Amino acid sequence: MDLSGNTQRHTISALVADKPGVLARVAGLFSRRGFNISNLSVGRSESEGLSRMTFVVEGDEWVVEQVTKQLYKLIDVIRVSDLSEDSIIVRELAFIKVKSDSSNSAEIIKIAESYRANIVDIDKDSLIIEVTGDDGKVDLLLNSLKPFGVRETMRTGRIAMTRGAATTGLKKTSNMVDHSAPDADVVP
């Protein structure tokens, strides 16, 4: 365990079997071990039958090591990668519903545009703004909109991908995915 108390946010990617119950088993593992997931995104991967989970956990290197070891104990987990130290692209999508009327909608739209956000719904009493970026950008836009009255937010959580040719996928052999041979250099 890191006794220095250096905690930070770690982005972990896991390639898992795309079948019922996998998410529940992974969440249960985190809960039983006392690890908090501050962000979670799940979606189909580039390989048929596999999904990619992206977690953000807070802790030191010991926590990341334990999370990785515990994930590998689950039968449906194929590959786990700590992306925190890699050069990665990070994004999050958020919808923000803001109170608005004819007196302030132009100002709200101007603020949204300054963050390269889109207005996806306009109603007489509210606007829905769509923003994509890192979590810092989303937080800044939210703070800018608070004076108008944020009615509701919906955030996807962080997704991340390594820059360059390296991947967190599987090695492709002919037309079949070889689930036993992860290869960080080749994407199917």
Task: Note the pTM of the prediction, 2 decimals.
Answer: 0.74
Mean pLDDT of 17-41: 89
- pLDDT score of 157: 87
Give the pLDDT band (50/70/90) at residue 176: very low
- pLDDT score of 4: 52
Mean pLDDT of 65-74: 89
Residues 12, 57 contacting (CB under 8 angstroms): yes
CA 100 to chain centre: 30
Domain 8-86, what architecture?
Answer: 2-Layer Sandwich (3.30)
Residue 2 has pLDDT above 50, yes or no: no
Q: What does the domain layout of the chain look like in residue ranges?
A: 8-86, 89-159
Domain 89-159, what architecture?
Answer: 2-Layer Sandwich (3.30)
Cβ-based neighbours of 59, under 8 Å, separated by 6 or more: 7, 8, 10, 35
pLDDT per residue as tens digits for the range 106-159:
999 999 999 999 999 999 999 999 999 998 999 999 999 999 999 999 999 888
Residue 182 has pLDDT above 90, yes or no: no
**Mean pLDDT (the chain, rounded):** 85
Does 89-159 match 8-86 at the fold level?
yes
The two most distant CA atoms of the chain are separated, in Å, by 62
Backbone angles phi, psi at 186, to 5 degrees: -130, 130
176 dihedral zone (left: phi>0; alpha: psi -120 to 50; beta): beta
- pLDDT score of 188: 40
